Amino acid sequence: MSWFDRMRQIVAKENPYHDPATGQFTSPSGSGPTLMTGNGVIYDKHGVQYTVKHEYRSIVEGLAPKHQYRVINDQGHEVAGMTLKANGQSAMEVHTSPAVQRRGIATALYDHVEKHLGYKLKSNWATTDDGAAFWKARSK
């Protein structure tokens, strides 16, 4: 079995709501086949609005499938982002620009992504000290 076929099996097995052709997800509530996009809007603790752009790279392009979410400010600059692991169960990478850290952007992004996916993300075993503090606060 090719590596690409194996990746398709893993994604289908671990995330039955995922449509690998589009990178979108169906609702896990069983409400029907409606596909949801990951684009949207989030707000930080101070009410500042940011645009979330969802991008998907499929297996067909030669790499493991990845969902990437970019947080864009009103001037068009990326200030935060998240890349999910291939199985879609946890984040592989999360970043927030130092200028906007501690404003709740990562929390708002996690909430947005979980709403898009329809399930809670798991913490990643390879977490930085900041990431461990984030997950400790998030799990309260």
CA distance 11 to 39: 21
**Digit-coded pLDDT (tens) for 95-136:** 999 999 999 999 999 999 988 888 888 887 777 888 888 888
Range of the domain at 122: 3-138
- DSSP β-ladder status, 40-43 and 49-57: antiparallel
CA distance 115 to 26: 11
Tally of domains in the chain: 1
DSSP E strands in 1-140: the ranges are 18-19, 24-26, 35-36, 40-43, 49-57, 66-72, 78-84, 91-96
Direct distance between the N- and C-terminal alpha carbons of the chain, in angstroms, rounded to an integer: 43
**Digit-coded pLDDT (tens) for 48-90:** 999 999 887 665 455 566 788 999 999 999 999 998 877 778 8
Q: Whole-prediction pTM value? A: 0.69
CA distance 67 to 48: 24
CB atoms within 10 A of CB 38: 21
CA distance 7 to 63: 10
Q: CATH number of the domain that 109 lies in?
A: 3.40.630
